[in-house]
Amino acid sequence: MTNMQVGGDWNTILTALLWLVFMLYMLSDLPQKTQFMRYEKGVAVRLGVLEGLVKESISKVKSYLVKLGVSSVDALVNSTLENYFAIEPVSIEPTDIIKRLDHIITVNEDKFKGDLRKAMPNIGRHMLNNIAVSLAVTSALYTVYKILRHYYLLGKKYENWILLMQLYIALPQIVRELLPYVRAVETFAKGIPIGDSAGPMVAFKLVGLSPRIDIEEDTVYSVVELEGRKVYVIKAKGPGATVGKPGKAVAKIAEMLSYNISRIITVDAALKLEGEPTGLVAEGSGAAIGDVGPEKIEIERVAVRCGAPLDAVIVKMSNEEAIKPMVKEIVEGVEKAYQMVLEIIRNRTKPGDNVVVVGIGNTVGVY
Amino acid sequence: MMLMQSDIITVLLIAIVIGLLAYLIKSSLDYSKERKEIMEKESRPVKIIAVASCQQNDYTMEREFREGDFIGKIDGACPKCGSQMIIIKIYSLYMETPQKSFKLQLR
């Protein structure tokens, strides 16, 4: 009898409790509030991870600058993080948009490098390029963090659970994609070749240690003879971290050769699709270059003016592999791309032809 | 009979409440665990290897990357023929972390 009473009491309490929970769940906005709290907490935790990454990246750059003996490191890094944004030119009137875009990019880059040179007058060009890219990577990380924080605070302020839900869903992927950027700061500072250096590495394999001739800012070319063909190999000036201005270099070479070019071959790193193997090499047509426009259009214009076929050789890799130290699969891809370029020159040009090969990408750690 | 039926319902209800509580605790712990996992995955130790080759292609040497190395750097003389050694490759390798294997050997 006692047992039944105790059991019955528990039963009644638990049943009442479950009914209460059920009623609250179905007839109040408690589930939405709970979900909102969960989203808010989840986003806050992930933003905390991102904040930690930004701080880590800033401290890495600062310690590297201190090691190089740079004075007023804090002021330099802080000004880089907040300044040097570029505003897109007016696109409603497309006339000359490429020239205007190029002008804005060049002015911004010159201002950035000029300020760095002022702050570090005794540092060599290659080291300066490495620092510039490390600072640019940190600045990019900080900007992404600021934007995400902005939407998080907006969502919290207006209790916009849809905004928070979007952040909650997207943040794990964003955090994972940003993680390699933290390591990239160290990679650039030390001058280790990255996945994106695949194009310059193919160019190096073609020319070896032959003399580099300056043709544009941070861009060089070398001339090699290959079975009777004259091959003009263009790449960014290494081994510092820079992408140079390959499009303008192609335009200058074309002008120098009176537009007598039989073929233009561009070699670059390209993003692979999920499931594709790293280091896969593919060949196509067009200019393999991932800039916003000014450099790519120069190569296309030269190809059209010369009536020269434009080949694209790409080495596939993921977004994170492109900025991480080069992995062995990409090194093997570089060898395959090099063989492919040789094959194109041998089979699709004739002895006596002028051929232009452009190794596109960041030349960090590649001479 | 009635006593037994009442006990079963009580046990079932207690189990549901405990299950819900366990889920609540687990989901809140998952946030901190996720952060730890991401950091561990990304901080896998990496070794950077520099490969230098003799200009005459008769000797190749592999060593760990040193700051200042770059592809195309002249890295001493070949111990075989005395010509220049040039760094031709620099790549990264994930260092193996010792793990206990419980795989059965089926051979």
Q: Cβ contact (<8 Å) for A191 and B67?
A: yes
Q: How far apart are CA B103 and CA B107, in angstroms?
A: 12
Closest among A138, A134, A235 to A192, alpha carbons compared: A134
Task: Among A127-141, A307-321, B37-51, B72-86, name the one with the lowest average pLDDT.
Answer: B37-51
Closest among A222, A220, A197, A201 to A355, alpha carbons compared: A222
Query: Are β-strands A354-359 and B74-77 bridged in parallel, bridged antiparallel, or unpaired?
Result: unpaired
What pLDDT was estimated at residue A5?
55
Closest among A364, A49, A355 to A200, alpha carbons compared: A364
- All structural domains of chain A, each given as residue ranges with its CATH number in brackets, are 30-190 (no CATH), 195-359 (3.40.50.1470)
Segment 312-341 of chain A within 8 Å of chain B by CB: 324-328, 330-331
The band of B58, judged by pLDDT with boundaries at 50, 70 and 90, is: confident
Is the CATH number of domain B46-94 3.40.470.10? no
What pLDDT was estimated at residue B107?
44
Nearest CA of chain B to the CA of A196: how many Å?
Answer: 12
Nearest CA of chain B to the CA of A255: how many Å?
Answer: 29
A221 inside 8 A of chain B by CB: no
- How confident is the model over A246-268, as pLDDT tens digits? 999 999 999 999 999 999 999 99
Q: Classify A252 in phi/psi space as left (phi over 0), alpha (psi -120 to 50) or beta.
A: alpha
Name the residue facing B17 among A4, A14, A38 (closest C-beta): A14
Complex prediction ipTM:
0.81
A202 inside 8 A of chain B by CB: no
Q: What is the token pair recorded at A321?
A: 């592999």
Closest among A253, A241, A246 to A295, alpha carbons compared: A246
What pLDDT was estimated at residue A168?
93
What pLDDT was estimated at residue B33?
72
Segment 233-252 of chain A within 8 Å of chain B by CB: 238-239
Task: Kindly list the residues from chain A whose CB atom is less than 8 angstroms away from the CB atom of residue B91.
Answer: 193, 325-328, 330-331
The band of A12, judged by pLDDT with boundaries at 50, 70 and 90, is: confident
Which chain A residue lies closest to B89 (C-alpha atoms)? A331
A72-81, A171-180, A282-291: which is most confident? A282-291
Examine the pLDDT at A2 and tell me if it is beyond 70.
Answer: no
- Rounded to the nearest integer, the mean pLDDT of chain A is 90
Choose the mutation target among A3, A6, A9, A10 for the interface with B, i.e. most B CBs under 10 Å. Answer: A10
What pLDDT was estimated at residue B106?
47
Q: How far apart are CA A344 and CA A266, in angstroms?
A: 11
What pLDDT was estimated at residue B6?
66
- Chain B positions contacting chain A at CB under 8 Å are 2-3, 6-7, 9-10, 13-14, 16-17, 27, 31-32, 34-35, 38-39, 42, 46, 48, 65, 67-73, 86, 89-93
Name the residue facing B3 among A3, A42, A325 (closest C-beta): A3
Q: Cβ contact (<8 Å) for A175 and B92?
A: no
**Count of A-B CB contacts under 8 Å:** 100
Nearest CA of chain A to the CA of B107: how many Å?
Answer: 31
Domain ranges of chain B: 1-42, 46-94
Q: How far apart are CA A75 and CA A220, in angstroms?
A: 34
Neighbours of A86 (CB within 10 A): 13
What pLDDT was estimated at residue A366?
94
The band of B34, judged by pLDDT with boundaries at 50, 70 and 90, is: low
- How confident is the model over A129-147, as pLDDT tens digits? 888 888 888 998 999 999 9
Mean of the pLDDT values across residues A231-235? 96
On whether the CB atoms of residues A354 and A257 are closer than 8 A, the answer is yes
pTM for the full predicted model: 0.81
Which chain A residue lies closest to B65 (C-alpha atoms)? A192
- How confident is the model over A309-352, as pLDDT tens digits? 999 999 999 988 999 999 999 999 999 999 999 999 999 999 99
Residue with tokens 């201190």: A66
Which chain A residue lies closest to B93 (C-alpha atoms)? A327
A366 inside 8 A of chain B by CB: yes
CA A74 to chain centre: 25
Which chain A residue lies closest to B33 (C-alpha atoms)? A45
What pLDDT was estimated at residue B5?
66
Mean of the pLDDT values across residues A145-165? 93
On whether the CB atoms of residues B95 and B46 are closer than 8 A, the answer is yes
β-partners of residue A359 are: A235, A267
* Residues in contact with A363: Cβ distance below 8 Å, sequence separation at least 6, in sequence order: A197, A200, A235, A236, A237, A238, A239, A240, A241, A242, A243, A244
Count how many residues are written for chain B: 107
Mean of the pLDDT values across residues A264-287? 95
Q: Cβ contact (<8 Å) for A366 and B72?
A: yes
The band of B41, judged by pLDDT with boundaries at 50, 70 and 90, is: low
